[in-house]
Structure 1
Amino acid sequence: EDPSSSTSTQNSVAPELPGFYYDPEKNRYFRLLPGHNNHNPLTKDSIQHKAMECKRLKLLEEEEKHNQKTARAGLNSSVLLQKRQLGLVSSTSYCRLVHELKVNCMQRRKIEIHSPDSSVAGTNNFKIIVADVACERIFTVNDVEHGGCKYGIINLSGLGKESLTVEMYDNLYFTNRKVNSVCWASLTHPDSHFFLTHSSKLCLMGIAETPGCASLLPASLFSSTNPGDRPGMLCSFKISTAWSCAWCLNPQADNCFSTGLTRRVLVTNVVTGHRQTFGTSSDVLAQQFATQTPVLYNGCRSGEIFSIDVRQRNRKGQSWKAIRLFHGSAVTSIHLMKAEHYLMAADMAGKIKLWDLRTAKCVKQYKGHHNEYALLPLHVNEEEGLLTAVGQDCYTRIWSLQDAHLLRTIPSPHPSSKDAIPSVVFSSRLGGSRGVPGLLMAVKQDLYHFSYN
Structure 2
Amino acid sequence: RCEQEEPWNSLNADTSNSGSSSEVCHSSPVPELPGFYYDPEKNRYFRLLPGHNNYNPLTKESLQYKEMECKRLKLLEEEEKQKKKTSRAGLNSSLVLRKRQLGLLSSTNYCRLVHELKVNCMQRRKVEIRSPDSSVTGTNNFKLIVADTACERIFTVNDVEHGGCKYGIINLSGLGKDSLTVEMYDNLYFTNRKVNSVCWASLTHQDSHVLYKLCLMGIAETPGCASLLPASLFSNSNPGDQPGMLCSFKISTAWSCAWCLNPQADNCFSTGLMRRVLVTNAMTGHRQTFGTSSDVLAQQFATQTPVLYNGCRSGEVFSIDIRQRSRRGHSWKAVRLFHDSAVTSVRLLQAEYYLMAADMAGKIKLWDLRAVKCVKQYEGHHNEYATLPLQINEEEGLVTAVGQDCYTRIWGLQDAHLLRMIPSPHPSSRDSIPSVVFSSRLGGSRGVPGLLMAVKQDLYHFSYNSDNP
TM-score for both structures, normalised by structure 2: 0.92
CA deviations 1:178-207 (Å, max 9, x no partner) are 10100000011100000000123335xxx6
2-structure distance, mates of 1:57, 1:188 = 47
The equivalences for 1:2-401 within 5 A come to 3=21, 9=27, 11-12=28-29, 14-66=30-82, 69-203=85-219, 208=221, 210-224=222-236, 231=243, 234-401=246-413
Secondary structure of the equivalent of 1:323? strand
1:450 aligns with 2:466: no
Q: Do the aligned partners of residues 136 and 4 (structure 1) sit closer, same or farther apart at CA in structure 2, a change above 3 Å counting?
A: farther
1-structure distance, mates of 2:84, 2:401 = 19
1-structure distance, mates of 2:409, 2:175 = 23
Partner of 2:420 in structure 1?
A: 408
Q: Which amino acid in structure 1 is aligned with residue 260 of structure 2? A: C
Q: Which amino acid in structure 2 is aligned with residue 377 of structure 1? A: P
Secondary structure of the equivalent of 1:119? coil
TM-score for both structures, normalised by structure 1: 0.96
RMSD across aligned positions (CA): 1.7
2-structure distance, mates of 1:386, 1:316 = 38
The answer (yes or no) to whether the contact 2:37–2:47 under 8 Å persists in 1 is yes
Secondary structure of the equivalent of 1:220? helix
CA deviations 1:90-110 (Å, max 9, x no partner) are 111110100000000000000
Q: Which amino acid in structure 2 is aligned with residue 135 of structure 1? A: C
Secondary structure of the equivalent of 1:296? strand
Secondary structure of the equivalent of 1:182? strand
Secondary structure of the equivalent of 1:194? strand
Q: Do the aligned partners of residues 148 and 232 (structure 1) sit closer, same or farther apart at CA in structure 2, a change above 3 Å counting?
A: farther
Larger mean Cα displacement after TM superposition, 27-36 or 155-164: 27-36
2-structure distance, mates of 1:256, 1:225 = 25
1-structure distance, mates of 2:22, 2:387 = 19
2-structure distance, mates of 1:232, 1:406 = 43
Q: Do the aligned partners of residues 157 and 225 (structure 1) sit closer, same or farther apart at CA in structure 2, a change above 3 Å counting?
A: closer
The answer (yes or no) to whether the contact 1:3–1:56 under 8 Å persists in 2 is no
2-structure distance, mates of 1:385, 1:412 = 23
Q: Do the aligned partners of residues 230 and 283 (structure 1) sit closer, same or farther apart at CA in structure 2, a change above 3 Å counting?
A: same
2-structure distance, mates of 1:438, 1:225 = 22
1-structure distance, mates of 2:155, 2:238 = 20
Partner of 1:438 in structure 2?
A: 450
Q: Which amino acid in structure 1 is aligned with residue 452 of structure 2? A: L
Q: 1:316: how far off?
A: 2.9
Q: Which amino acid in structure 1 is aligned with residue 384 of structure 2? A: E
Q: 1:171: how far off?
A: 1.2
Q: Which amino acid in structure 1 is aligned with residue 379 of structure 2? A: K
Q: Which amino acid in structure 2 is aligned with residue 212 of structure 1? A: G
Q: 1:348: how far off?
A: 0.2
Q: Which amino acid in structure 2 is aligned with residue 296 of structure 1? A: L
Q: Do the aligned partners of residues 4 and 113 (structure 1) sit closer, same or farther apart at CA in structure 2, a change above 3 Å counting?
A: farther
1-structure distance, mates of 2:31, 2:316 = 45
Query: How many corresponding residue pairs?
Result: 446
Q: Do the aligned partners of residues 436 and 301 (structure 1) sit closer, same or farther apart at CA in structure 2, a change above 3 Å counting?
A: same
1-structure distance, mates of 2:380, 2:83 = 21
Q: Which runs of 5 or more structure 2 residues have no equivalent in the other structure?
A: 1-18
Larger mean Cα displacement after TM superposition, 309-318 or 92-101: 309-318
Larger mean Cα displacement after TM superposition, 244-253 or 69-78: 69-78
Partner of 2:5 in structure 1?
A: none
Which structure has the higher relative contact order (CA within 8 Å, separation 6+)? 2
Q: 1:271: how far off?
A: 0.8
Q: Which runs of 5 or more structure 1 residues have no equivalent in the other structure?
A: none
Q: Which amino acid in structure 2 is aligned with residue 162 of structure 1? A: D
Q: 1:275: how far off?
A: 0.1
The answer (yes or no) to whether the contact 1:4–1:52 under 8 Å persists in 2 is no
Q: Which amino acid in structure 2 is aligned with residue 361 of structure 1? A: K
Q: 1:68: how far off?
A: 5.9
Identity %: 84
Q: 1:223: how far off?
A: 3.0
Q: Do the aligned partners of residues 404 and 21 (structure 1) sit closer, same or farther apart at CA in structure 2, a change above 3 Å counting?
A: same
Q: Do the aligned partners of residues 15 and 201 (structure 1) sit closer, same or farther apart at CA in structure 2, a change above 3 Å counting?
A: closer
CA deviations 1:29-63 (Å, max 9, x no partner) are 11101111111121111111101101100000011
The answer (yes or no) to whether the contact 2:391–2:401 under 8 Å persists in 1 is yes
The answer (yes or no) to whether the contact 1:304–1:324 under 8 Å persists in 2 is yes
